[in-house]
Amino acid sequence: MKLIKVKDYEELSKQAADYFIKKIQSSPAMIIGLATGSTPEGMYRYLVQDYQENRISFRNITTFNLDEYIGLDGSNENSYRFFMNNHLFDHIDIEKSNVHIPCGTSKDSSAECATYEQLIKAHGGIDLQLLGIGGNGHIGFNEPGSSFQSRTSIVELTDKTRRDNARFFNTFEEVPTEAITMGIATIMESKEIVLLASGEGKREAMRLLLEGRVSEDFPASYLHNHSNVTVIADEAALAGLNYSL
C-alpha cells in the first residue's frame, strides 16, 4: 500500500484527478470503477474542468460504480446515479451506454447483482477503482463483518452508515436500509485501487487502516492484501497517526 499525504481537501481532489487523468491519457479505453460520497466530489470537479479545457476525453471510457441504494431510482436526487450524472457524467463526453451503476429499483435485485458481476467480468475486470472509506471502514457498502469473499450483493446498511449519510436526506427515516454493492472480492479483483480520505472525521478510519490488522471487522483493511493500492489522504485525516507502510 502506498500513501500520498497531501495538505488539504483541495490538494487531495487535484492530485486524485491528476492521477486519473494521467491513466486515462495513457489508456483512453480503460475500465474505471467510481465511487460516490462527499470525498470524490472535488476530484470530479477537477475532471470536469480538465474536460472543459479540452485536455481529456472520456469517449471510450467505461465505468462501473460501486453501489446504489435499493428503492431509489435515477431521478431521485439521493440516488447514486443522480449524484454521478450531476457531478460528472452530464458534464463530460462519456457515452451513457458505457456507464454502469447497479439499478436500485430492479424487480429482482438478486438477479441485478448477478448481472452486474457478469458485466464487470465481460469487460475484462476493472483497471482502476476509486474508493472512499466509511467511518466504520466500509468500502462500497461492504459494512463491518462483510466476508472478504463477497461478490456484488444486496446488503443491509448499518445505523452508523445511515446516520453518516442522513445529511443528504430530509429525515433519518428516509435513508434507505439496503443497497446493492460490489463485493469485497469484486473490488479486490481491480487491477489498481486508489482510496481517498479527507478530514478529521476519517482519522480513526485511517488509524485502523494504517496501524491496525487485517480483519473483517474493518473491511478496508483487506486492501493490504492487494498489490497495487494508493491511499491519498490529507493532513487532517492523518494527524497524530503512527504508521509505517
Instruction: State the catalytic residues.
Output: 67, 136, 138, 143
Amino acid identity at 9: Y
Q: What stretches of the chain show up as alpha helix (H) in DSSP?
A: 9-26, 41-52, 80-87, 109-122, 159-165, 184-188, 203-211, 235-238
Compute the least distance from the CB of residue 197 to ligand PGA, in Å.
8
Based on the shown chain and the rule CB under 6 A, indicate whether residue 133 belongs to the binding site for ligand PGA: yes
Query: Is there binding between residue 219 and ligand PGA (CB under 6 A)?
Result: no
* No. of helices (H) and no. of strands (E), the chain: 8, 10
Q: Mask: binding to ligand PGA, 36-55, rule CB under 6 A, as x and -?
A: -xxx----------------
Per CB under 6 A, does 132 bind ligand PGA? yes
Residue 62's contacts (CB-CB under 8 Å, 6 or more residues apart) are 29, 30, 31, 32, 98, 99, 100, 123
Footprint on residues 20-39 left by ligand PGA (CB under 6 A): 37-39
> Least distance to ligand PGA from the beta carbon of 213, Å?
21
Number of residues that bind ligand PGA (CB under 6 A): 6
Rounded to a whole number of angstroms, the minimum distance from the CB of residue 185 to ligand PGA is 18
Whose Cβ is closer to ligand PGA: residue 74's or residue 199's?
199
Identity of the residue, 38 or 49, whose beta carbon is nearer to ligand PGA in the bound complex: 38
Element (DSSP H or E) covering residue 32? strand 31-34
For the chain, the residue count is: 245
Radius of gyration (C-alpha) of the chain in whole angstroms: 17
Exactly one of 134, 176, 183, 219 binds ligand PGA (CB under 6 A); which one? 134
Pick the closer one to ligand PGA by CB: 39 or 109: 39
Could you tell me the smallest distance in angstroms from the CB atom of residue 220 to ligand PGA?
Answer: 9
Q: What are phi and psi of 174, to 5 degrees?
A: -75, -20
Residue 30 near residue 23, CB atoms below 8 Å: yes
The binding site for ligand PGA (CB under 6 A) comprises 37-39, 132-134
